[in-house]
Amino acid sequence: MVDMETIVNLCKARGFIFQSSEIYGGIGSSYDYGPLGVELKRNVKEAWWKAMVSTRDDIVGLDSAIILHPKVWEVSGHIKNFTDPLVDCKHCKQRFRADDLEGDKCPACGGELTDARQFNTMFKTFVGPVEDDAAVAFLRPETAQGIFINFSNILASTRKKLPFGVAQIGKSFRNEITPGNFTFRTREFEQMEMEFFVMPGTDEEWFNYWVSERYNWYVKLGIKPDNLRMRPHEKEKLSHYSKATTDIEYNYPFGWGELEGIANRTNYDLSVHSEGSGKQLTYFDEASGEHIIPYVIEPAAGADRAALIFLIDAYDVETIEKGDKKDKRTVLRFHKSIAPVKAAVLPLLRNRPDLVETAKKLAGDLQKTFPTMYDDTASIGRLYRRQDEIGTLWCITVDVQTIEEDNKVTIRDRDTMDQIRMPIEGVKQYLRDKLEAED
Ligand code: GAP
């Protein structure tokens, strides 16, 4: 498996992810997505939205605010419970999450540690010009609460019947004690969460359904099943709202870690918000003629973690043998819907204006349908390697024969490196069919 250093270096060199505020020495655990990274993350979010919202009749979308009424966090239990146990080293003064440590000594210097105290990881801020207690607000630590507090609005406006879900993608913020491992754990990150409201009593069945749906989503998008596993949480380690949680874990270069969590949140959130707000967040069940509080199954994924594993899992170094010569190529074998660039158009000779013009025209035409790059800044062999390294699905070469003989171009497949020749007019439809074909 590839190591993290190689991934971090490739991300910087090719414009996927940069250390944030680098020119000022960088800010810990903050990252900026570069030109290719932003496309990659958009593709991840779009694939999630397509699977969770656009192709389903039973799930709708929402985009709620990041700063909610402070009462939301009090009632949801986050002010009291959204904490991590913090310890300090009495000797070197470093701070750690107590539940990350093995043993009772400082992992950095072996010094004695303080007793653990609970540290709330919500970011506090002030709303308005006066910084007093009445103006305190929080940046959301999960997108989920924005969904629960809109339950009645969504029910009344969509007339959905149980079971139905509400999905949301957006930034969340946590003042993590020990962020790290590149974009795996940061203080500002994007979540892709869905709250699926079900009849009480059907929750366990729906929980199992969503665990396998979500696992299959990653596999369908090319993640190797050997690098995925399910980890049910032990009862005593469940979050304050959960009856059962299963994590989908990934085998990161630094070991197995959470990728997504699927939780049975019971009727906890709707119940506490009904009580806290005095508004009945209930559902009228026509069969029984009663108002009930639905149970909730929540698949909660991270867009940054997903983008990271798509990068790690796609990374491959291949040895190519040509006669008795051996060569190496680095290739990101992204799934077609995740690849940031779908095609690259490359003129074989950059000093031939007719080749360049034809290649640019083709690239411009393809760009109207899918992300396409034009590049003539190196020899063809080097251009192929560059495109392989960013996972471009197809390289299309315009050569002298195109102009002088047959109006055909060569299409090279990223994975097999096989080449076919076809009329220039047919290229767009050919690639579009391939992109749209079911796996
Ligand atoms: N609403 C439930 C919830 O927030 P979670 O397991 O705390 O559950 C869901 O978060 C997902 O969000 C995680 O599986 C992970 O992918 C992502 N995530 C959580 N904290 C993160 C962090 N500090 N940095 C990056 N991603 C994070």
Q: What is the per-residue pLDDT across 40-77, written as a single tens digit (0 to 9) for each?
A: 999 999 999 999 999 999 999 999 999 999 999 999 99
Residue nearest to atom 2 of ligand 1 (CA): 300
Sequence length of the chain is 439
Distance of CA 100 to the CA centre of its chain: 24
Positive/negative CA dihedral, 97, 168, 278, 239: negative
**Of ligand 1's atoms, which has the minimum distance to the CA of residue 302?**
16
- Average predicted confidence (pLDDT) for the chain: 96
**Of ligand 1's atoms, which has the minimum distance to the CA of residue 245?**
6
**Of ligand 1's atoms, which has the minimum distance to the CA of residue 183?**
25
Rg of the chain, C-alpha, whole Å: 26
Q: Which of 236, 303, 300 is nearest to 264 (CA)?
A: 300
Structure confidence at residue 239 (pLDDT): 84
pLDDT tens readout for residues 402-438? 999 999 999 999 999 999 999 999 999 999 999 999 8
- Beta carbon of 302 within 6 Å of any ligand 1 atom: yes
- How buried is residue 296: exposed, middle or buried, by Cβ count under 10 Å (0-12/13-18/19+)? buried
Residues in Cβ contact with 428 at an 8 Å cutoff, skipping those fewer than 6 apart: 365, 366, 369
| pLDDT category of residue 241 using cuts at 50, 70 and 90 | confident
Q: Which of 297, 144, 270 is nearest to 206 (CA)?
A: 297
Please tell me the distance between residue 219's alpha carbon and the centre of ligand 1 in angstroms.
20
From edge to edge, which strands make up the β-sheet containing 419-423?
Answer: 372-374, 343-347, 394-398, 408-413, 419-423
> pTM, whole model, 2 decimals?
0.96
Please tell me the distance between residue 180's alpha carbon and the centre of ligand 1 in angstroms.
14
